[in-house]
């Protein structure tokens, strides 16, 4: 049976993670290594300046007092039995589309899996409709079957976003663009000290009709391939023509 490693950024014991675990158990030997508390917006942070604690919660289920990336690193580099054949991160409560991808601990965990050479994908579901994640979990299981069968290109992950209502279908999409208000709420604590809440609500989108957000707003699940190589080839060619690089071009 394939070895499947699960994590999330909402924390161990959340309904989305549990639904995903149940949906994937028929496909392989599932191990859960998840943060011991919510780590939303942790992005790709890796804990390097303090020790990490991993605690067993049940058979093949562990918590880590660190980030989603820490969980994947420990689950792959220090495995309890063998290296996983597949990593799935989620199901996140709330979409990870457009610019959200940059901040998402859910997506970052999948990226860490790809860095470590394991086919990986992330799953998120829009808020609403209570805590029923069954539709998103069933769709994730279908994606898992396909990835286990055919694999993924090296250094590439899939980002699956599912509407709150049962999806009308699934679309292959591009990463969109979502614009947020810029907000910092300054407050005073009982001792008179200043503290801040960083916030912001989505106000508009510049996404095209083939984007992840557009698909979800139309009731479809969005499946977006993302790659680790962030190089912009168009800009690479442009800056190569800058005058300050003339000597390098001549010597080359």
Domain assignment present for residue 196? The answer is no
- With b for 16 or more beta-carbon neighbours within 10 A and e for fewer, the 186-196 pattern comes to eeeeeeeeeee
**What distance in Å separates the CA atoms of residue 172 and residue 170, rounded to the nearest whole number?**
7
Average predicted confidence (pLDDT) for the chain: 91
**Model pLDDT, residue 192:** 83
Report the predicted TM-score, pTM, of the whole model to 2 decimal places: 0.90
46 assigned to some structural domain: yes
pLDDT at 128: 83
**What's the structural domain count of the chain?**
1
- Residue 229 lies in domain: 3-175+208-251
Pairing of strands 54-58, 61-64: antiparallel
Residue 12 falls inside a structural domain? yes
Residue reference for tokens 């809440």: 197
199 domain residue, yes or no: no
* CATH code for position 163: 3.40.1210.10
> Which stretches of the chain score pLDDT less than 70?
79-80, 179-183, 198-207, 247-252
- Could you give the maximum distance between any two Cα atoms of the chain, in Å? 65
Domain contains 189? no
> In sequence order, what are the residues at sequence separation of 6 or more whose Cβ sits closer than 8 angstroms to the Cβ of residue 121?
87, 88, 89, 110, 140, 143, 144, 147, 152, 157, 158, 159, 160
155 occurs within a structural domain: yes
Q: Is residue 112 part of a domain?
A: yes
Instruction: Give residue 107's pLDDT.
Output: 98
- H or E segment to which residue 54 belongs: strand 54-58
CA-to-CA distance for 35 and 52, rounded, in angstroms?
Answer: 11
Crossing angle (nearest 10°) for helices 68-77 and 105-115: 30
Q: What is the pLDDT of residue 87?
A: 98
Give a yes or no: residue 191 inside a domain: no
The strand pairing partners of 191, in sequence order, are none
Taking the alpha carbons of 141, 105, 199, 38 in that order, is the dihedral positive or negative? positive
């Amino acid at each position: 049976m394939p070895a499947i490693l699960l994590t999330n950024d909402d924390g161990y014991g959340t309904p989305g993670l549990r639904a995903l675990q149940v949906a994937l158990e028929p496909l392989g030997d599932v191990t859960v290594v998840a943060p011991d508390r919510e780590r939303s917006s942790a992005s790709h942070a890796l804990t390097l300046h303090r020790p990490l604690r991993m605690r067993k919660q049940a058979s093949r289920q562990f918590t880590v007092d660190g980030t989603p990336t820490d969980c994947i690193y420990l689950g792959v580099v220090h495995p309890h039995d063998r290296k996983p054949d597949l990593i799935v991160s989620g199901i996140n409560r709330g979409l990870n589309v457009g610019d959200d991808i940059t901040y998402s601990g859910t997506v970052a965990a999948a990226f860490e899996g790809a860095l470590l050479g394991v086919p990986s994908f992330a799953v998120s579901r829009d808020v609403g409709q209570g805590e029923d994640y069954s539709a998103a979990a069933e769709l994730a299981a279908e994606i898992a079957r396909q990835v286990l069968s055919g694999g993924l290109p090296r250094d590439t992950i899939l980002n699956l976003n599912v509407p709150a209502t049962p999806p009308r279908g699934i679309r292959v999409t591009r990463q969109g663009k979502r614009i947020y208000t810029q907000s910092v709420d300054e407050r005073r604590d009982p001792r008179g000290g200043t503290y801040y809440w960083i916030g912001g609500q989505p106000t508009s989108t510049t996404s095209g009709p083939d984007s992840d957000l557009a698909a979800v707003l139309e009731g479809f699940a969005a499946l977006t391939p993302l790659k680790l190589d962030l190089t912009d080839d168009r800009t690479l060619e442009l800056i190569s023509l800058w005058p300050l690089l003339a000597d390098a071009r001549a010597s080359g």
